[in-house]
Amino acid sequence: MTAITHHIPDELLIAYAAGSLSSVFSLAVAAHVSMCDDCRAQLEAHEALGGTLLEETPSETVAEDLRARVLDGLDAPVAAEKTYHRSGIFPAPVMAALRGLPPKWKPLGLGVRQMILSHTAEGSARLLYIPGGQGVPDHGHNGLELTMVLQGAFRDETGRYGVGDVEVADGELEHEPVAEDGPACICLAVTDASLRFRSLVPRLLQPFFRI
C-alpha cells in the first residue's frame, strides 16, 4: 500500500477522542485510523490525556436515587452488537455502515455511482465510485467535507490522494476532482452541508441525489 500522506486534522481526532464528533465524521475518522498508524498513535495519545484529565477532576456526590438508576441500568441486558471486519477495500467501520453487505450503487451519470450510508440533519456519509479518468463536476462546499480514498486515486487543485488519504475541504475550496486512469476510484465522503455546484445540470439534480 502506498504511504498515507494526507491525514485527519488534529482537532477532529481530539473531538473523536472526546466523543463529541458527529456520527458521519466519526465514521471517516474511524475508517482512516484503522488504516493509518500515525493517526492511530495520535488518537491514542489524545485518549490517554483525556483519561488523565478525568482522573484529576474532583469527584462530586451523586444523589442516591440517581446512583440507584445508574446501577440498575448497568444490570440491564445489553443487545449484542455484530462485529465487522475489513473486507476487500472496505475497512471495518465502513463494513459496519454497510451491515456487512456489498454496496448497492446508484448511478449519478457518466459512470459515476454512489451509495448513501447515512443522511440526517447532522450530515451525510456516502460511498462514491468514479471510473478511471472520469471527473466530478466542479464544485465548492457549504460546510466541511472529508473524502477518504479506499481504492484507486484522484487528483485536484490541491494534489494527489491515494488509498488511505483524506482530503479536507471547506467553504474556501473550489475544485474538480478527477480519478486517475486505471481502477475506479472508490471513496468514502462525509459532509455536514450540501455541495455548491457551478454548472446548472448538477444543481438541478442535486435534490434527487442528496449531495
User: How many H helices and E strands in the chain?
Assistant: 6, 11
- Angstrom distance (rounded) from CA 29 to CA 16: 8
pLDDT of 78 reads 46
Three-class SS of 105-148: CEEEECCEEEEEEEEECCEEEEEEEECCCCECCCEEECCCEEEE
Closest CA to 175 of 163, 187, 186, 167: 167
Closest CA to 163 of 174, 181, 147, 178: 147
Residue 23 lies inside a defined structural domain of this protein: no
At residue 44, does pLDDT exceed 70? Answer: yes
Output phi, psi for 197, to 5 deg.
-90, 145
Strand ranges across the sheet with 112-120: 106-109, 112-120, 123-130, 185-191, 145-151, 166-169
Looking at the structure of the chain, the number of domains it has is 1
Q: How confident is the model at residue 172 (pLDDT cuts 50, 70, 90)?
A: confident
The model carries a pTM of: 0.80
Residue 59 lies inside a defined structural domain of this protein: no
Residue 40 lies inside a defined structural domain of this protein: no
At residue 134, does pLDDT exceed 90? Answer: yes
pLDDT of 178 reads 94
Residue 37 lies inside a defined structural domain of this protein: no
Domain containing 196 equals: 104-209
pLDDT, mean of residues 163-175: 89
Query: Residues, the chain, total?
Result: 211
Q: How far apart are the first and last CA of the chain?
A: 30
Residue 24 lies inside a defined structural domain of this protein: no
Give the three-state DSSP class for 149.
strand
Q: How confident is the model at residue 56 (pLDDT cuts 50, 70, 90)?
A: low
Residue 129 lies inside a defined structural domain of this protein: yes
Stronger pLDDT, 70 or 120, i.e. the higher one: 120
- Angstrom distance (rounded) from CA 153 to CA 143: 23
pLDDT, mean of residues 148-169: 96
Which grid coordinates belong to 27? 465514521
Q: How confident is the model at residue 121 (pLDDT cuts 50, 70, 90)?
A: confident
> CATH number for the domain including 160?
2.60.120.10
Residue 35 lies inside a defined structural domain of this protein: no
In angstroms, the Cα distances linking 5 to 9, 75, 101, 134 are 12, 45, 30, 23
Residue 133 lies inside a defined structural domain of this protein: yes
